[in-house]
Amino acid sequence: MRLPALPTSAAPPRGHRADRGEPQVEQREPKTAALPLGRVLGLVERTELNAVVIDVKGDRGFASDAFIVAPGGIGTLLEMVMVWQLLQVRQLQETPLILVGPPWPTLIEWARHAMLAFDPPLADAEDLAIPRCVASADEALAIIRTHHATWLRAQRAGDPPSRSSGAVTR
């Protein structure tokens, strides 16, 4: 499996802190030795990257087995919606889109309410269920472990999981 991507615009100063896995200033905790590995899914040319971000201009980071999105700014929101749309139109398949932290459930509920209110709806309910909102990194890891276990079983059986089989929980 490939590394999960942490969609980020890496825009200073918040983007750099998020890329390093740092909490918001008012929530600082002691640093650990482990750092997340972020992939830039940026739309614009950038002149510098910080030490924990891999620049993947060539594949734009869309070759990941999972996308984990932490709270961020407009750039992070844009990158997350791009991944969501690629999953919706099946350009990416069987790839968890995991939104970690407090801002995401409200956003997803807004999208559900706003898009399903039209007749006909602007999106399918199934498409609005693609992102998985979780409160913590531990919950995100549990989704990734389940996804990986499903993937391993399918590989051993010679049958890749499909959306219609319900093999991967969203």
CA–CA gap between residue 160 and residue 153 (Å, rounded): 9
User: 7-24+32-165 has which CATH code?
Assistant: 3.40.50
Per-residue pLDDT at 163: 44
CA–CA gap between residue 73 and residue 38 (Å, rounded): 16
Q: How many CA atoms lie within 13 A of 51 on its CB side?
A: 2
Residues 102-113: pLDDT tens digits?
999 999 999 999
Strand partners of residue 134: 100
CA–CA gap between residue 76 and residue 54 (Å, rounded): 16
Strand partners of residue 35: none
Per-residue pLDDT at 65: 87
State the Cα angle at 44 between 42 and 47, rounded to 5°.
95
Q: Which of 75, 84, 103 is nearest to 19 (CA)?
A: 75
Specify whether the CB–CB gap between 14 and 73 falls below 8 A.
yes
Residues 56-76: pLDDT tens digits?
444 444 668 899 999 999 999
Q: Answer whether residue 83 shows pLDDT above 90.
A: yes
Domain boundaries, the chain: 7-24+32-165
> Pick the residue with more confidence: 167 or 94?
94
